[in-house]
Structure 1
Amino acid sequence: MRGRDAIIIGGGFYGLRIALHLRQKLGFRSVLVLEREPQVMQRASYVNQARVHNGYHYPRSILTAYRSRVNLPYFLTEFADAIVDNFDHYYAIASRLSRTNGRQFELFCDRIGATYEPAEPRAMNWFNPQMVESVYLVTEPAFNSVTLRSILLDRIAAVGGISVSTSDEAFHVEQAGSALSVHSSTGIHKAEVVISATYSRLNDLHRSSQVAVIPVQHELTEMALVELESPFAESGITVMDGPFFSLMPYPDRGMHTLSHVRYTPHHRWRESGTEPFSPRPSTELESLPEKSRFREMYADVLRYVPALATMRQVDSLWEVKTVLTKSDKDDSRPILFKPDHGLKNLTTIMGGKLDNVYDVLDELSSYYA
């Protein structure tokens, strides 16, 4: 496909990294990125736990965990300036309601080649021994999403041949002879290849383009932004494997995010194409709940880590989180890659984690080379 033109719908991390791959590795002549928001990487690429996954999070999905392990070194090398690893990260196994016990977690880590060690006594003393059976020190950094965006935009400017159009919503795609036309806020754009990387809005585009809906589940989510005192300010804590919580450094704001399996989702709904009505993710995000669930999250945190009593909420981050419907059962995060989805050379892509973008790039190389 050398010498071809491409349009990428969606200026998140995936859209920008794919644009670079098409230009640098696959020889596309030009790439246009259309982004609905005023700035790229402003939605799900910014509002997330900022965790660079090393596999620990997915003991019930070996494939997801293994792919995280494989892709981690590539992400750390490519985006070294965005990586934040100046904190200790602990995974605690709850003694009740966890689907994984301590021994199973160790065997799982051994199987995927992820390093771990028992937490030191100082950290063990943070946890309620009646609620937590074991705690492990692991290697799993965070990233600064603003730095990540700057790296990508600097590379795009240096490479040339990539245009990024913001505040430019793509409404629908249609066949135009051997090419595809994308109707957007700024007009009609044509290219031989169109890639949809719109994440939660993928089915909005599919419906308007009269192509098949992808079965997904959406959640309107809240992550609390909190301030922590030392030594927690220099730590990350994940309690698993069930209806528990994570506290992760959020480098761009100099705070931590608090997310909770039970309380972070305020509302969830499914799209399968058979519903008489399905809310649009963008509409749901604009109609935020009036009440934060931080108090519920906070109360549960203290059951497991009483020493976090001084934690203070500063703000909340809201976003629509989208996963494939089947992922709800095993917590997996497979990559969606659908070439020729209803239209020749329309490819739909959705990734569950930023650091697994390399699996997408491999698929693109195989398909468009």
Structure 2
Amino acid sequence: MQNIYSSRPHAAITAIGGYVPQGRRTNFDLEQVCDTSDEWIVKRTGIKERRILEQGLATSDMAVMAIQDLCTRYAKDIADVDAIIVATSTPDVLMPATANIIARKLGLKNVWAFDMNAACSGFLYALDMGASLVETERYKNVLIVGADNISAFVDIHDRSTNILFGDGAGVIWLEPSAEAGVMDAFMQSNGDGREFLNIEGGGSLYPTSQETPDDERRYLRQDGKVVFKQAVQSMSNACKHILDRNQLGIEQVNWLVPHQANKRIIDAVGKEINIQEEKTLTNIAYRGNTIAATIPLCIWENIKLIQKGDLLMLTAFGAGFSWGASLLRWMI
């Protein structure tokens, strides 16, 4: 009996795009609103500035501009898209899904479009799901978007968060391939991190109201020490697991693309998995933590370094806690 799975295609990334807002929030800007300094921020995070979306625009606007960038760079026809998965923690509105809004703005009438919220791990979660859609042949051209307007939820006076977060959007195009592009993924979550990293306001438990417009729950809050420790441990373990499962040594990985949360976390993960420092891609210094957008934006901004056939290992950690790692062969 013929194995029906043997002829199924692989999923490969065939295009990538990105967008970052024009507005900048520098460390010197933050010195004016809270007790901090450029030297202190750079030493603790590696961040010098972050991009901030202008008022009146939302997550969907950045996503659309990233998709348009992709289509222009790689001569892709947006009409070919049959599925859009948007990883975001900052949807335009609670409903409908931001993916639906993006489809409308792109003029797509018959497309499967939905959001996925796994915080900073969202892009990896969405990438794995999108690859599965392609591999099962249910969909042929899938856009995976990572986009967050997180500055809208940052208390500008809170030094534990205002130094870290910025806005942006990244997107990749997945389609069938005879060769393995997206090779493997390992995703985990446990729910243990709710109290340490969250935005509590705006949901069904703490809905926004006219009576409490300044409710502190509407802001992003985190316990940096707990998050730091968990992020390093979880991302390192996920990378080791996926290497072991694929019988690969770290020396075979051309590029590590970690979630851009904090330069010290990035360095600690690299040291823990014993990868050469020059093999780790970063863009955190001038972008900050853009939540679900960090990994696609980091690849997009370092694209000239990556060669066709290179082996990339992606890893992320976010609220939940949620974390994971992906392994892919670069096919562009």
Give the strand-richer structure, 1 or 2: 1
Give the number of the structure with larger relative contact order, counting CA–CA contacts within 8 Å between residues 6 or more apart: 2
- TM-score, normalised relative to structure 1: 0.28
Give the helix-richer structure, 1 or 2: 2
- TM-score, normalised relative to structure 2: 0.30
Larger radius of gyration: 1
